[in-house]
A and B are shown apart, each in its own frame.
Chain A
Amino acid sequence: MSRHWSRGILPYLYIAPTVVSTLVFVIYPFLANFYYSVVQWDGFGPKRFVGLANFAELSRDPRFWAALATNLIYFVYIVVIPIVLGLLIASVIGRAKVRGLRAYQTIYFIPQVVAPIALGVIFRWVYAPLFGIVNGLLQAVGLRHLARPWLGAPETATTAVGIIGTWAWFGFCVILFVAGIQKIDEHLYEAAKIDGAGAVRQFWHITLPDLRFEVVVALIMATVQSLGGYIFSVVRVTTNGAYGTRPVGLYAYQLAFVEGRVGYASAVMLVLTALIMGIAALGRMLGEGREAAP
């Protein structure tokens, strides 16, 4: 009897820590955020239900749209460029016998294990106007006239921050795609070669379709980072949102903790969450073909 009982309860005990932590740290905050988005609240006083007024205000808030546009620029640097570059590099080295491949993989992966706050601090030094590596290199190769305060000008700051994301996510994409390519049956390439397909056609018709799942994984993960906490941390440390570098997350922080508009900030974050979930769902739809394949 008791063995029967323990068999019945045991699986639930195994998953209990995950369920409880998900409920406490994911589900509850999400529901609470939904509730806060329909109230007016300064963080200290009573909450006043305002329906969809926060969302209506959001639609005509130039600061929100500016922050969203900045996020889309980061999307290009953190998602699009690393995936495209990663595919190109992986397609070149994925099927070749590269000596020391593991060492390369480790080096490529290092940016992934560095906390975004630390990355921000490092790159603040890299871009430093007086003693930074970038300006130092430019001066060393006789391009002193190109040296500038990269994080301190509206025309360069967003790009400079975006490149930090490219650097961090490019290596991840390469490793993911190389692993994917190594799983593709070599006979497919040989058959394509016999049929007269060149490297470009092999890439379009064999490599890319078979890497769809890996691309979707990279797309979802990098999208979350380009819109969420990762870019928030990097920007907070490098420019704190100055010179048009502020993403939506940092704007919501400003609203909630500087301007005392917790309700409106929650509405902003809810829209951002919906955007992330929308892109993730789109990615899953694209990846379903590969998942369903035998």
Chain B
Amino acid sequence: MLNWRVLRLWLAGWLIVLLAGAFSPAIGAAEPGVLEIWDVYYSPNRNPVVEAAIEQLKERYPGWEVRRTSRPLEDMRTAVMAALAAGAGPDIMLVNNGENMMGPMVRAGHLVGLDVYAEKYGWTERLFSPSLWNRARYSEDGTQFGEGVIWGVGVDAEIVGVYYNMDILNALGLGIPESLAELQEVMEAVKQAGYAPVALGLLDDWQFFHLYGAVQHATLAHQMGADAAQEYLDDIVIRGSRDRTWLEPGNVEAARIVQEWAQKGYFVDGYTALGGDDALAVFEAGVAAIFIQGSWYSSSIAGVDFDVAFRPFPPVERGGELPPQIGGMATPLGINARSAHPDVAAEFLDILINSDTTVSLQLGMDVVPARVPAPVELVPEGTVYHDILVAWNEANQVNRVGHFLDWTTPTMWDTMAEAGRELVLGSITPEEFVQKIEDDYRSHAGQ
């Protein structure tokens, strides 16, 4: 009854299929699968990059399905938490830096280490500067931030600097300040001329963080040297070093300067009740001369009908070294340890962050690419975006991309927001402000 010839052919067929699978160069290429992505890149100037990367992946892997969900950061963080707790989750997902997500996720074993892929695709050579990569690193056991394995990658970058309304500066015969002292002279001259010197929206906590941080990075660089300031900031913000303290003269001096600016009326009227977007609107209305904020506003600011320049925050003294400039990689993505296709996921990440298509799209939408140096020669000179890429390249070239200070401890956001408002409103002294930050830092340092 049994047809041995048919059986032999059937077995031979299976053997060929199995061997072909074993020696297949691309995992999953022979068997179409599903790649699921949960990201936060839904904004109009980021979404096309992700969509283009998905199309490229589908071209490389015919038959593969890519399911993408994109939501605001806080919603997505909650979704990731719920999914991982239920033993599920996508292949690629949001992994916000630091203790907000990355640390706990590493400790819980939810992530795939990306060092192998970083080496395979040359990420660390082509993208970001070394100090920036440290912000995506945690020790293998997830206890030490800032060193060890890479667990996430950001699709683009951001830098905080100073936007100047050049129409106001030119009308008053003022040049772009090259030192902190000159910046304050410009503020005074602008105020005397009846303009608002600085657009600020203190209702959003992070507006204070960036303002104080920019000044503090400069005063620390003046106190201890620019590279030492970068090292100090790396230690204090990402490594949580017990040997460091916030009670440094540079930190107090920065607090004194910010408080003095408030007392001298350098901030736009009603700034305590304005949010970040309100402050942007004030700057874009042409009533304020200076806006100390991030590159994420550049595409909006590029649309104003007056001349705008963007520069790194200046050193304390003219001719001084470039201080560290606050910046970072955009909210990173990582690979789920439960993913059935980690290699395909990594290949997708490479297309997303490292491909020429991505860089080309980013250049067309005023987004700072992850690639360093950013190809500034492809961008028209005299535009805000050109200025931003120049500043970004400059900071990366000397490895001085500074830090978002709220990362320092899990409670620093709350502490610095409250203390910052008290400082600006004059209800505490600069020394008391720094002491509050130090107390928070000391309660977490080295843990």
A residues apposed to B, CB below 8 Å? 42-46, 63, 127-130, 149-154, 239-240, 242-243, 254, 257-261
Q: Look across to chain A and name the residue whose beta carbon is closest to the beta carbon of B204.
A: A240
CB of A253 to closest CB in B, whole Å: 9
CB of B295 to closest CB in A, whole Å: 23
Q: Look across to chain A and name the residue whose beta carbon is closest to the beta carbon of B75.
A: A257
* Residues of chain B within 8 A of A239, CB atoms compared: 203
Q: Are A258 and B108 in contact (CB-based, < 8 A)?
A: no
Q: For the complex, give the distance between the alpha carbons of A257 and B81 in Å.
A: 10
Q: Are B270 and A149 in contact (CB-based, < 8 A)?
A: yes
How many residues of B are in contact with the other chain, CB < 8 A? 33
Q: Are A128 and B414 in contact (CB-based, < 8 A)?
A: no
B205 at the interface (CB under 8 A from A): yes
CB of B279 to closest CB in A, whole Å: 11
Within 8 A of A (CB), among B197-220: 202-205
What are 5 pairs between A and B in contact, CB < 8 Å?
A45-B104, A130-B270, A153-B425, A242-B417, A243-B272
Q: Are A240 and B203 in contact (CB-based, < 8 A)?
A: yes
Q: For the complex, give the distance between the alpha carbons of A43 and B417 in Å.
A: 24
Q: Which of B104, B205, B413, B425 contacts A44 (CB 8 A)?
A: B104
Q: For the complex, give the distance between the alpha carbons of A260 and B106 in Å.
A: 14
Q: Could you mark each residue 277-298 of chain B with 1 if its beta carbon is under 8 Å from any beta carbon of chain A, else 0?
A: 0100010000000000000000
Could you say which of A45, A63, A128 has the most chain B C-beta atoms within 10 Å of its C-beta? Answer: A45
Q: Are B273 and A259 in contact (CB-based, < 8 A)?
A: no
Q: For the complex, give the distance between the alpha carbons of A43 and B99 in Å.
A: 11
Q: Are A242 and B421 in contact (CB-based, < 8 A)?
A: yes
Q: For the complex, give the distance between the alpha carbons of A62 and B425 in Å.
A: 22
Q: A44-B104, A129-B270 are in contact. Are A257 and B411 (CB under 8 A)?
A: no
Q: Are B104 and A151 in contact (CB-based, < 8 A)?
A: no
B271 at the interface (CB under 8 A from A): yes
* Residues of chain A within 8 A of B421, CB atoms compared: 154, 242-243
B43 at the interface (CB under 8 A from A): no
* Residues of chain A within 8 A of B104, CB atoms compared: 42-45, 260
B31 at the interface (CB under 8 A from A): no
* Residues of chain A within 8 A of B3, CB atoms compared: none
Q: For the complex, give the distance between the alpha carbons of A97 and B78 in Å.
A: 54
Q: Are A152 and B78 in contact (CB-based, < 8 A)?
A: no
B84 at the interface (CB under 8 A from A): yes
Q: Which of B274, B282, B414 contacts A152 (CB 8 A)?
A: B274
B264 at the interface (CB under 8 A from A): no
* Residues of chain A within 8 A of B203, CB atoms compared: 151-152, 239-240, 242
B100 at the interface (CB under 8 A from A): yes
* Residues of chain B within 8 A of A254, CB atoms compared: 413-414
CB of A143 to closest CB in B, whole Å: 17
Q: Are B272 and A153 in contact (CB-based, < 8 A)?
A: yes
Q: Are B81 and A151 in contact (CB-based, < 8 A)?
A: no
Q: A45-B104, A257-B77 are in contact. Are A149 and B273 (CB under 8 A)?
A: yes
Beyond contacts A149-B273, A149-B274, A150-B273: 17 other A-B pairs, Cβ-Cβ < 8 A, are A43-B85, A43-B104, A44-B101, A45-B108, A129-B270, A152-B203, A153-B272, A153-B425, A240-B204, A242-B203, A242-B421, A254-B413, A254-B414, A257-B78, A258-B410, A259-B410, A259-B411
B107 at the interface (CB under 8 A from A): yes
Q: Could you mark each residue 411-447 of chain B with 1 if its beta carbon is under 8 Å from any beta carbon of chain A, else 0?
A: 1011001000100010000000000000000000000
* Residues of chain A within 8 A of B411, CB atoms compared: 259
B105 at the interface (CB under 8 A from A): yes
Q: For the complex, give the distance between the alpha carbons of A257 and B271 in Å.
A: 27
Q: For the complex, give the distance between the alpha carbons of A261 and B444 in Å.
A: 14
Q: For the complex, give the distance between the alpha carbons of A131 and B413 in Å.
A: 30
Q: Are B273 and A46 in contact (CB-based, < 8 A)?
A: no
Q: Are A128 and B100 in contact (CB-based, < 8 A)?
A: no
* Residues of chain B within 8 A of A43, CB atoms compared: 81, 85, 104
CB of A167 to closest CB in B, whole Å: 19
Q: Are B74 and A257 in contact (CB-based, < 8 A)?
A: yes
* Residues of chain A within 8 A of B341, CB atoms compared: none
Q: Are B110 and A152 in contact (CB-based, < 8 A)?
A: no
Could you say which of A63, A152, A239, A257 has the most chain B C-beta atoms within 10 Å of its C-beta? Answer: A152
Q: For the complex, give the distance between the alpha carbons of A51 and B79 in Å.
A: 27
* Residues of chain B within 8 A of A128, CB atoms compared: 270, 273, 278
B269 at the interface (CB under 8 A from A): yes
Q: Could you mark each residue 378-416 of chain B with 1 if its beta carbon is under 8 Å from any beta carbon of chain A, else 0?
A: 000000000000000000000000000000001101100
* Residues of chain B within 8 A of A149, CB atoms compared: 270-274
CB of A260 to closest CB in B, whole Å: 6
Q: Could you mark each residue 87-117 of chain B with 1 if its beta carbon is under 8 Å from any beta carbon of chain A, else 0?
A: 0000000000001110011011010000000
Q: Are A260 and B100 in contact (CB-based, < 8 A)?
A: yes
Q: Are A63 and B81 in contact (CB-based, < 8 A)?
A: no
* Residues of chain A within 8 A of B99, CB atoms compared: 260
Q: A151-B273, A152-B274, A240-B204 are in contact. Are A260 and B410 (CB under 8 A)?
A: yes
Q: A152-B272, A257-B77 are in contact. Are A46 and B410 (CB under 8 A)?
A: no
Q: For the complex, give the distance between the alpha carbons of A130 and B100 in Å.
A: 35
Q: Which of A152, A240, A259, A260 contacts B270 (CB 8 A)?
A: A152
Q: Look across to chain B and name the residue whose beta carbon is closest to the beta carbon of A131.
A: B270
CB of B444 to closest CB in A, whole Å: 11
Q: A44-B104, A152-B202, A152-B274 are in contact. Are A130 and B410 (CB under 8 A)?
A: no
Q: A254-B414, A258-B413 are in contact. Are A152 and B273 (CB under 8 A)?
A: yes
Q: Look across to chain B and name the residue whose beta carbon is closest to the beta carbon of A149.
A: B273
Q: For the complex, give the distance between the alpha carbons of A150 and B104 in Å.
A: 39
Q: Are B270 and A44 in contact (CB-based, < 8 A)?
A: no
Q: Are A258 and B273 in contact (CB-based, < 8 A)?
A: no
Q: For the complex, give the distance between the alpha carbons of A260 and B98 in Å.
A: 11
Q: For the complex, give the distance between the alpha carbons of A242 and B421 in Å.
A: 9
* Residues of chain B within 8 A of A261, CB atoms compared: 410
Q: Are A44 and B81 in contact (CB-based, < 8 A)?
A: yes
Q: Could you mark each residue 182-207 of chain B with 1 if its beta carbon is under 8 Å from any beta carbon of chain A, else 0?
A: 00000000000000000000111100
CB of A9 to closest CB in B, whole Å: 32
Q: Are A129 and B274 in contact (CB-based, < 8 A)?
A: yes
Q: Look across to chain A and name the residue whose beta carbon is closest to the beta carbon of B99.
A: A260
* Residues of chain B within 8 A of A257, CB atoms compared: 74, 77-78
* Residues of chain A within 8 A of B74, CB atoms compared: 257
Q: Are B108 and A44 in contact (CB-based, < 8 A)?
A: yes
Q: For the complex, give the distance between the alpha carbons of A253 and B85 in Å.
A: 18
* Residues of chain B within 8 A of A153, CB atoms compared: 272-273, 425
CB of A127 to closest CB in B, whole Å: 7
Q: For the complex, give the distance between the alpha carbons of A152 and B274 in Å.
A: 8
